[in-house]
Every structure is written in C-alpha cells, then in structure tokens.
Structure 1
Amino acid sequence: MREATHDPATPLATGLSPAELRLLLSFAYTGAVAGPWPVVLEAAETSLRYQAWGLLTLCLDVFTHGLTPETGLDVLAFAVAYDLAQVGRVAEDYILATFPSVVATPAFLDLPSHLLIRLLRSDELNVLHELEALEAASRWLMANGNGQEDLAREVLSSVRFALMSGQELKKVPSVAAGVADPKVLRELMVASLSPVAQLPCRVRSLEEVLVVCGGDKLTANLAARKPSRDLWFAHRYLSAVGLVKQVEWRALGHFPDGPRFRHAVAVVGNILYVLGGKRYYGVHDTLASVYRYQPMDDSWERLSSMTCGRSYFAAVALGDFIYALGGCSRELYCTDTVECYDLANDTWRCQPLPMALCGHAACALDGALYVSGGCNEASQCQASLLRYIPGMPATLLAPMNGQRAGHVMEEAGGQLYVAGGLCQQDGQTGYRDQLAFEVYSPKLDSWVLLSPLPHAHVVGGAAVLGGELLVLGGYSHETYQDTHLIHAYQPGARRWITRGTLPHAYTDLQVCVLTVPPALRGPSCLKDPSKSPETPNNT
C-alpha cells in the first residue's frame, strides 16, 4: 500500500508505476475496471505486461462484446500490436461492417496506413457505393498524406473504381482534389477500368444478408391485394444514376404452408422462427402455427403451435426462449398474453402483460424485453415503453415523445431506436403517419429525438445490418400508398439515406438478418424472370 502512494518521480523497485499499481490493486479488490475508454486500454496493456490474466480476460471481453465505432479502431490496433488474432478478427469484422460510422469518428484519422489499406482492400467493406470508399481514403490522406505521392498511390489503388457508375466517376476528381496528383488518379482509374485487367473487380458484400419474409402486396393490375409466401435476400447493392440505388434480390425460399403477413419472426443462431400471422383477410384466419427454417440446408420444420392465434404482435428471442407478446387474437381482440417458447423442449407457457396491446414493437437488451407503443383495446395509440424481465412484473419506463403503433424498434449500440408507424391526430379520431424518429437510453431512462424519417413506413419491417438501422416497406396512412423504399439511418453520420428498393411494395412484412449458403450467392442462382410472377424487378 505504501508503494501505491510512492513519489512518482522515484521508480518503484518492482518496475510498476504508481498508476499501474493502483490499477492492479483496484482490480484485485473489486474485480472491475472503472474509468473511461483510455483506462480500459491502459488496463489491457498493463495486464499483458505483468501477466495479470484475470484482468486481461475482462479487458478482452470488453473488446469483443462492447465495440463501438469510436473504440473499434483502438481495439484493432491493440490486437495487431500484441498479436491477438481472435480479437483482431472480431474488431476488423466490426469495422468493416460499420465502416461509414467508423469513418466519421476522429480516431479514423489516426489509423496506421497499413491498416487503412487492409480495410479498403477487403471484399467485406460495407459501403453504399464505391465513392464512399474514395471519400474515406481522401479524408485520411488529407490529414496524413503530407504530399507523399507513393503513399497516396498505394491508398487510392485500394479503391475499386470499376464498381463506380459513370455519374460517380465524374465526381472522382473533386472528391480526391488535393490528396493526389491528377495524373496519378487518372492512371489508377484507367488501370482499374482497363479491359485487359486479369481479374474482374470483386463486388463488396457482407457475410450476413438482409432477408424479407412474406408480407402483403398489390397485384400487378392494382385490383386486389396478394399475400406473399416468399423469402428474398439482398445479394448486393448496385451503383446507379439517381438517389435510389438498385438492389439485386435473390430467392431464398418460401413458407411451407402458404403465404403469411402480419406475422412475427425471431432468429436464434442463424435459425429463423416464423410465428402466427394471417394467410388471407378472413375474420377468423389468424394463425397459431410456428415453423423453424435453417437457411444453410434450406429445410423447414413444424414446431408446437402457440396456445392462441396471433397477428399484429411481436416476437423476441432471449436466451434459450422466444417470447410472443400481445397482438390480435382470432376474434380480432387485443390480448395481454405473453407466450414463452422453450427451444430445447418445444413447449409453450403463458404469462400476462400489464395491458392488452397490438401493433406494438419489441426487442431484447441486456437480459430484458422492451415493448413500445401499440394500440390498446380501444384502438388508442400508446406512447408507453415497458421493460419486461421474465418472471418479474413489467416496469413502466419513460414514455416516447409521441404515440405510435405499427412501428419498428431495434437495438443498436446498447440503445433502442423507434421509427415509423402511425399516431392519432390531435383532437381528432383519425390517424396520421408518424415520422418522428427517436432513440432511448436505458442508462438515462430518456428519449432523444433524431432526424425524422424521410418517408412514411406504417407496418413496415426493420433490421440492423452493418451498423445501420434499415426500415423497409409499409405504407402511408395519409395517402394509402404502399412503398418499396428501403431507408437506412447511419448513427455515425446522423443521417438517413435511401439504400434501394424491395422486390415489391410490401406491407405487414417481416425482416431479419441471416447468413445464407455460399452457393446461393453465386451467379448461377439468379431468378429467371420468365418463370415466376413473383420475380423482383431489381429497380
């Protein structure tokens, strides 16, 4: 203890600095590390230097499970410096998936050149279009290039100019102005686009893909509605002229028992669970059936049904269980029941919610279920947020800034984002589109309004992929027009962008993220438009 307060000017006999000794002693007594991110990095370095394996295990757990756009680059540099291969792979995968958000952080400018080049050359770099990769490279070179022509050439040669559209190629000189000699830039562009290149330019794509499950759409002649039984996955995003990018959609499979909409899905270990919903518009056609789909071998399995049919409900996976919360029953009444499905035993059991809800949204965070908004039995939109820990009474948390039902809620970075849906007009009995977009902090129990949604998405779908919140499909209650747009919110840049379009303008759909077999991503698997009326139009 005397050494812990030793004069910093005098080296300790053990070689430990006072700060290092305080850190090791604090961990020995508390089993924790308290302080901002630099303290965690210092703790990791100290644990390696003095072989404090318990402290190192704690730090590595933070590194692999608590990554953010601000900390990912530090973890990657640390892993490379200390040859921690597994930690390095986790950090690199995270940075590649959330690249637009990482680029917006100050730490990006401190990235060593060899790591920047490694990221830019990866096939899994997540960028909306290749011009974003050039913008990132130019931003880094502006801060670190210092007129080094060889460095600029090496960094910019990692950009895949062959993936750019004609309109994007015209922007290249202005984006890279001041970071490279125009002659060098022209040489790189010509070399990339040359027809004598030995290999075709690889398209960048993430290992995980966006999957659209079922939904409801208008027929081609706009005369009727037609529920879908298809599962589509977004194979890649293509460059095109204009604000709306093209998405190449490919068929993944279809439901084994016919079409489904107003259903719910949950994913556990890359296995998709499809629950409830409706097949058509009959009053009593509300399903209780549950299926399990394994994309790697394209197999479906019928599981035990829920105790009651449900539509307009939410399903969330938590641990070894899947929870089906609220919704409309076969008699079109809102229900307050929560059914819990045991994955190991294929059984259901029931518990109650504090109120009957339908059209709500739910997700899991830190061992708890969160339920937002929805309509009560009187068809009144709610602004409430409930925290539901299985086996305990539900807790009412800070309400949202506005009512909403038919919306989406997703967890990202330890926070809850809600978007879309509809709300009741002030002083009137009708409904209007809810465009407000907000985020909830569990630590502060408070909501913050963000940039509003650029387009109405009532009963649309949502997923988090590549660090972005994707909101898809739905309709506008004010115009009754369905939408095929995909909007993405980038937390790092704090902006909405248009990611592309759905195969069709779906409503009452479900969306998830899965890893699909490599064979499905090959060129031979493209859908033949002449053989199926369900083929997406890729526009």
Structure 2
Amino acid sequence: MREATHDPATPLATGLSPAELRLLLSFAYTGAVAGPWPAVLEAAETSLRYQAWGLLTLCLDVFTRGLTPETGLDVLAFAVAYGLAQVGRVAEDYILATFPSVVATPAFLDLPAHLLIRLLRSDGLNVLHELEALEAASRWLMANGNGQEDLAKEVLSSVRFALMSGRELKKVPSVAAGVADPKVLRELMVESLAPMAQLPCRVRSLQEVLVVCGGDKLTANLAARKPSRHLWFAHRYLSAVGLVKRVEWRALGHFPDGPRFRHAVAVVGNILYVLGGKCYYGVRDTLASVYRYQPMDDSWERLASMTCGRSYFAAVALGDFIYALGGSSGEIYCTDTVECYDLTPAFPCPRRCQPLPMALCGHAACALDGTLYVSGGCDEACQCQASLLRYSPGEPAKLLAPMNGQRAGHIMEEAGGQLYVAGGLCQRDGQTGYRDQLAFEVYSPKLDIWVLLSPLPHAHVAGGAAVLGGELLVLGGYSHETYKDTHLIHAYQPGTRRWITRGTLPHAYTDFQACVLTVPPALQWVPPVVSGNPPPPGYMP
C-alpha cells in the first residue's frame, strides 16, 4: 500500500534511486529481468549493491547462457570488477574461442589494457594465424594508445612473433604502422626469434581440437576409392598464399577393426563412440559394431553391437544415452528403427526404442534442450525430404516447421540454442535426378521458424561438421553435379554472418565424421623453429 502512494520521483531514505527501486520491485513481482542488455547489466550491479541474491542469480544465468561477441566483453569486465571468478572463466573462455568475432565489435575498443594483454597472452586464443593477434592489438592501440610507448610495447610483446611465417613477418611493419616506434617493434621481433627464446614459445590452441574420423577417399593415382581407418586432429592453422589456409594435421589413432565410412559418432565427456558404417562397398559390408575410444590414453574398447547393421544414419548423445536413428541396413535401403545405449553400466547394451514415423537414410540429427531433432534425409522412394521431426523417447514424434528446401546427405549442428543445416543434395526442380543443395538456414525452436542465411560457397555432400570456437565448420564431401571430392573446410562465423575458408583436410574425404575432442598435451607439442632440431614423433610438416 505504501508503494502505491509513494512518489517514485523522489529518492528513498535508504539511498535507492527511482530506477533502482523500479528494477527491484519489477523482479520481486515478476521473478524476471526484462529489457535490453544494458538493463540486465544494471540489474546485476543493483543486485550486488543491495544483496538481492535471487536477482543476481538470475542475471548471472543470463550472462553465462546468453553470451555473444557483443556481450562477452561486458560480462568479463563485470566479473573481474566484482570478483566473480566462475563467471569470469566462462566469459573469458568464450571470448578466446570467438576472438575474431569479438575483435570486430565496437566494445573491443573499450576493453581495459590489462584484460587485452591477458587475452593476447593466453594459449587458448583462437586465431587463424598469429598475424590476426597483431592486427587486433594494433586496432586497439590505434584507438587507445595515444602515443604511449610503454603501453604499446607491453601490448605488442604479447604477440608471438615466433609463430609467424617469413611472409607474415614481412607484413608486421605495415600492420603495426603508427602504433609503435619501428625500433621497438624490431626489438620485440628479434627478441622473440632469438634461439634462446624458441623453447618457451607455445602454439596457440584451444583445449579442444577438430578431429576427423574415417571416411572414403580416392587413391593417390585417382584409380580407385579407398576407405580410411585413420583419426586426424587439426593441430594448428598456418598462413599460406591466397584465400585457402593450410592446416597442420597430426595422427590421433586408427580404428581397431579396419576402415569404415558412412558411420556415425557421438562424444560424451570427451569419450568418442563410433557406431556402424561400412567397411567396403558391398551389400553385406554394413557394420553393426560399436567402439568406445578414450583419446587421453589412446585406448579402444568394443561394446555390444547394435541390433542390426547401419550406414547413412545418425547417432546423437542425449544425457547418458546414445541414440542410433534410421539409416540403411544391409539389403534394406532405409529403416525407421531406433535403438539406444544406456552409458551408465560398465558394459552398455543396445535396446530398441520407439521407431521414427517414417523410414529415413542420409538424414541428420541433433540434440537441443533435452530433445532430439531429425532433419531431411531420403525416404524409401529415394525422395529427399524437407521435414524436421522432434523425437522424444516414449512420446509420439512431432512434425515441426519444414526447412526451406529438401536435403539429404547434409549436416545439422546446434550453436547458440539454434539448429543450423548446410550442404547435402536435393531433387532437381521439375526434372529427375539430384543437384547440390547450397542453401544454408537456421532453425529457432522457440519460434518454430527457419531463416535463410548466406549460402555455402562450395558443395558439401556427405561431408562432416563440428562447432568449434564459436564457428560452424563444414568439411569435405563432394559435389553431386561434378562428382568431384573436396578437401576444403568452410567456417561460418555467426558474429560476422559470413563464410571463410579455414583450410583443407588431410585428404579429400567423403562419408566421414568430424567431432571435437581434447587430446593429450604431448600430441600438441611444437618443435622449436631452429635448424637442425629433430621433429617429435608423429610430427607432420
């Protein structure tokens, strides 16, 4: 009753401003924080000032779940200012992983110097090549340096010149022009390239790395196709001539039972599960075997086989379960059967689940908010589908808004609470046969709508995909219109809404799988760039 008669235009005796009072009362009555991003920041500051712990918990949840390149820097600065270590770690990890997108935001220029230096000195800074780190530092100094030589030297000393190629080093003076004395810049370069400085120079790498598993490829003489049994991981990205960058790939391991392609993989707690696929091209070469791989000790364990062989199918991890959905089973072109593995027992075994509403192969599946989503694929009549299914075990599958176009042999990945689909093939308009599907679109589960984005720059049919460093990576596959395999890796950056070429695969693979894993630090050791030093075991120049 007092609130109803109180004049909100006058400050209270407690020191609360009218804006702060409205904010606290709004939360007390609604239990929610409404408004644009500045309002959420203001709510968090007010909750700390007046110890409104419920409001603070809600704000911190918004911070950690809704990070974007535009808001990540605000959250990091807030966490550092108020000593919120856990929130700060989440924000910092996100900024390091999405650094190219963060640098493009106006908020980057407002970053305090000590936080910029902290980011530039991190081993986890995600840059395509070290020149990107120098470009970011130079952009910040142009806006904040104001001729401060000591500040410029401290910031630029965080750049790892020893990781640059000769071609990149030649570009350093032009990139850093106007932000530091050329003599100081030259001293930093010489100091970092001196032989005694080589050993402590560490390659920048996210804790997680991109891994490609198995697949099908042409032989070196282009005379035949040969399935692969190898697992490779992307160790680092190197600068090269032109738009296509070079990726240094290293061997991680190989399948214990020979090659496989058209298989499926799932990752649970940094453990890789490999299911089904084909070992060769015959009707009877479809596999039902399942393996569990632990990259930290390079160990394989065979689990109970699936109830039937599967290829061209999808496998998704959801909680403590892995679901294998549909696919081609031996002589059966496509099936509607679903089975799942409960991972809690020491020796998981499969069990049959509620089937899909229609038989599918070449489809894609993904988990989001405790639900499985299945998109596209081919039916028993070899017709490409545009459907999206929501599949919850024990409940009837529900048809959601269809995609803007048909697709099969495509990829679907979750990022930022949305589902992205890319690649694959579709039916020709008014004609028989198929064509490459270059359309790229994103699905919002909250709105149940699809939105078209920038199309793929290259065909990727039966390729692989992963989300790493805030980017959607689409890898390999082939073009159905030219029947040429591709070894290209394209990355979509949500912050800049553009596609870039991230590099190339070890080979032009099709029908393979990609995932993200943490690998042993020993595999990521980089030899000093000193003439005469022998390379470590497994090093691939």
Does the alignment reach a TM-score above 0.5?
yes
Shift of 1:8: 4.5
The alignment yields a C-alpha RMSD, in angstroms, of 3.0
- The 1-side partners of 2:474 and 2:294 are apart by 24
Which one is further off, 82-91 or 329-338? 329-338
Deviations 1:227-266 (A, max 9, x none): 1111111122223333322222222222222211101111
Shift of 1:373: 1.4
Which one is further off, 147-156 or 73-82? 147-156
Which one is further off, 378-387 or 125-134? 378-387
1:534 paired residue number: 535
1:396 paired residue number: 399
Which one is further off, 178-187 or 420-429? 178-187
Shift of 1:308: 2.1
Confirm or deny: 8 A CA contact 2:10 2:18 kept in the other structure: no
Shift of 1:432: 1.6
Confirm or deny: 8 A CA contact 2:363 2:376 kept in the other structure: yes
- The 2-side partners of 1:8 and 1:28 are apart by 16
Confirm or deny: 8 A CA contact 2:353 2:393 kept in the other structure: no
Shift of 1:200: 4.8
Cα pair distance change 1:88/1:4, threshold 3 Å: farther
2:73 alignment partner, SS class: helix
Confirm or deny: 8 A CA contact 2:227 2:260 kept in the other structure: yes
2:63 paired residue number: 63
Shift of 1:451: 2.2
Shift of 1:433: 1.5
Which one is further off, 437-446 or 69-78? 437-446
Q: Does residue 203 of structure 2 align to residue 203 of structure 1?
A: yes
Shift of 1:52: 2.3
Shift of 1:101: 1.3
Confirm or deny: 8 A CA contact 1:283 1:332 kept in the other structure: no
- The 2-side partners of 1:219 and 1:332 are apart by 29
- The 2-side partners of 1:276 and 1:152 are apart by 55
Cα pair distance change 1:532/1:213, threshold 3 Å: farther
Cα pair distance change 1:17/1:507, threshold 3 Å: same
Shift of 1:277: 0.9
Deviations 1:190-245 (A, max 9, x none): 43334464755321111101111111112222222221111111122223333322
Which one is further off, 231-240 or 256-265? 231-240
- The 2-side partners of 1:429 and 1:237 are apart by 42
Confirm or deny: 8 A CA contact 2:192 2:198 kept in the other structure: no
1:336 alignment partner, SS class: coil
Q: Does residue 100 of structure 2 align to residue 100 of structure 1?
A: yes
Confirm or deny: 8 A CA contact 1:4 1:18 kept in the other structure: no
Q: TM-score, normalised by structure 1?
A: 0.91
Cα pair distance change 1:364/1:166, threshold 3 Å: same
- The 1-side partners of 2:377 and 2:165 are apart by 43
Cα pair distance change 1:444/1:426, threshold 3 Å: same
Confirm or deny: 8 A CA contact 1:407 1:421 kept in the other structure: yes
Which one is further off, 174-183 or 386-395? 174-183
Confirm or deny: 8 A CA contact 1:325 1:337 kept in the other structure: yes
Confirm or deny: 8 A CA contact 1:246 1:501 kept in the other structure: yes
1:189 paired residue number: 189
- The 1-side partners of 2:86 and 2:484 are apart by 48
- The 1-side partners of 2:537 and 2:324 are apart by 31
2:56 alignment partner, SS class: helix
- The 1-side partners of 2:5 and 2:399 are apart by 47
- The 1-side partners of 2:11 and 2:327 are apart by 67
Deviations 1:58-100 (A, max 9, x none): 2223323332222211111111001111221121111101111
Gapped runs of 5+ residues in structure 2? 344-351, 525-530
Q: TM-score, normalised by structure 2?
A: 0.90
- The 2-side partners of 1:240 and 1:105 are apart by 27
1:277 alignment partner, SS class: coil
Confirm or deny: 8 A CA contact 2:313 2:361 kept in the other structure: yes
- The 2-side partners of 1:188 and 1:5 are apart by 67
Shift of 1:366: 1.6
Aligned residue pairs: how many?
Answer: 524
Shift of 1:505: 1.4
Which one is further off, 52-61 or 477-486? 52-61
